Amino acid sequence: MNIGPDMLALLKQARDLGASDLLLAAGSPPSVYVHARLQALPGQPLTPAGARALIDQMLDEKLTRHLEQCRDVDFSLGHPQIGRCRVNAHYQRNTVAAAVRLVNDEIPDFAGLNLPDIMREFAGWPRGLVLITGGTGSGKSTTLAAILNQINHHAAAHIITLEDPIEYAFKNVRSVIEQREIGSDSPSFADALRHVVRQKPDVIMIGEMRDLETIRTAITAAETGHLVLASLHTINAAQTIERIIDVFEPNQQPQVRLQMAGALRAIACQTLLASADGSSVVPAVEILMNTPAISRAIRDGETHLITGMIETGANRGMQTLDAAIFTLLQQQRITREDALAKALDPERLERMLERGRGKTLAAAGPGSKPWE
């Protein structure tokens, strides 16, 4: 896609800074996220006309028409000087704004992502539902790409991805990979999923489970012998399960719980924190591995018990998000301030830190000040 010169220069500046995202909105200068921290680029705040002019340099006639009709449009673009980007252009306060995700050119691998080792196992499973969840910008797409990359290099599999839009462009190694973009290759996730099981896939990757029909079909595909990888905007494993169940009508929920109890293999809920030295980001990941006890809790509607089961399941590779954050802080990889800001239960984490600090001070002797 052609990109106008002013927008191209801005994207190059963001890429050179190592930014993950570029934000354009009237009333503020162009701003970037670098290592999970937001900072404004040098320059004056954008006017409504200035923001629109920059965003128009990324839009063709079809995208412009979609934006005007729907007030939101998602698309991807690529350029030799800046690589691939994922863009959402939208209206806010009757002015046009945009969020641009700068995608790495190289497919990531586990070694460079600092993900828990247990997540490597996901790529070797022949069937079942694996959910990668977290907030916006938490690295879900990157983790999914790493899992697919692992499969691509180690298994002869037919992989079909359903994405809106396509982010990482895969090259076939041992697997055959088809990437379908919603909007151009298929009208919707639900429509694509209805047909995908007839296309002989071994692995199905769903960029986002957004609606009832997509969720229903994904669960069915996992039940019928496919490995289904999908993302969801939830912050922990118990909430993820409840979010899926609550999409359905009350009279359907017992059957869906039964299906989920059997089809689910694992949930990884992740968030990104700035490293202690500010030079990178570090993932903290809650891991649920489905066990007979967890399966029973899902089936019986006792998801409130799941967090406790994760806490006692360390021997199976499980951990809560707050336990993952606590470990990162013990390793001095993140700051105390960021740890408490990202924790699901900051007060409990504070107590964990005080207990751990007391033990460390006792072992280290007078004058030690760990985690400060």
54 part of a folded domain: yes
pLDDT of 372: 40
pLDDT confidence bin for 1, thresholds 50/70/90: low
Q: What is the pLDDT of residues 174-193, one digit of tens each?
A: 999 999 998 889 999 989 99
Is 9 inside a domain boundary?
yes
**Which residue range(s) make up the domain with 197?**
110-336
> In the predicted model, is pLDDT for residue 106 greater than 90?
no
Stretch 128-140: mean pLDDT: 94
Query: Does 357 reside within a domain?
Result: no
pLDDT of residue 364: 38
Output the CA torsion 207→211→214→217 (10° steps).
140
Whether 52 is covered by a domain: the verdict is yes
Domain count, the chain: 2
State whether 22 and 116 are in the same domain. no
Residues 120 and 53 in one domain: no
What are the tokens at 1?
């896609």
Is residue 109 predicted with pLDDT exceeding 90?
A: no
The CB-side HSE value for 111 (13 A sphere, CA atoms) comes to 2
C-alpha angle with apex 141: 276 to 253, nearest 5 degrees? 115
Give me the pLDDT at residue 259, please: 97
365 band by pLDDT with thresholds 50, 70 and 90: very low
Is there a single domain that holds both residue 236 and residue 278?
A: yes
User: Residue 65's pLDDT is what?
Assistant: 96
Question: Is the same domain home to 227 and 84?
Answer: no
**Weakest-pLDDT range from 98-107, 195-204, 224-233, 240-249:** 98-107
Same domain membership, residue 117 and residue 80? no
CA torsion sign, 319 to 321 to 327 to 333? Answer: positive
Residue 57 maps to which CATH number?
Answer: 3.30.450.90
Phi, then psi, of 154 in degrees rounded to 5 = -125, -5
- The residue among 79, 103, 127 that closes a domain is 103
With a cut of 90, say whether residue 95 has pLDDT above it. Answer: yes
**9 shares a domain with 137:** no
Report if residue 152 sits inside a domain. yes
Pair 205, 68 in one domain: no
Alpha carbon 105 to its chain's center: 17
Q: What is the pLDDT of residues 284-309, one digit of tens each?
A: 999 999 999 999 999 999 999 999 99
Largest CA distance in the chain: 69
Burial class (CB in 10 A: 0-12, 13-18, 19+), 262: middle
Q: How many CA atoms lie within 13 A of 90 on its CB side?
A: 9
Give the domain-ending residue among 103, 138, 166.
103
- Evaluate whether residue 191 is within a structural domain: yes
State the pLDDT confidence band at 107, using cuts at 50, 70 and 90: confident
Based on the domain organization, do 50 and 114 belong to the same domain? no
Same domain, 215 and 91: no
Q: Which residues contact 174 (CB under 8 A, 6 or more apart)?
A: 152, 153, 154, 155, 156, 157
Model pLDDT for residues 37-74, shown as the tens digit of each residue:
999 999 999 999 999 999 999 999 999 999 999 999 99
The contacts of residue 308 (CB under 8 Å, 6+ apart) are: none
Q: Residue 325: which of 303, 356, 294, 289 has the closest Cα? A: 356
The CATH number given to whatever domain includes residue 174 is 3.40.50.300
Do 134 and 184 lie in one domain? The reply is yes
Residue 370: inside a domain: no
44 and 131, same domain (yes or no): no
* Residue 64 burial class via C-beta count within 10 angstroms: exposed 0-12, middle 13-18, buried 19 and up: middle
Kindly state whether residue 184 falls inside one of the protein's structural domains: yes
Do 146 and 243 have their domain in common?
yes
* Statement: residue 368 has pLDDT above 70: no
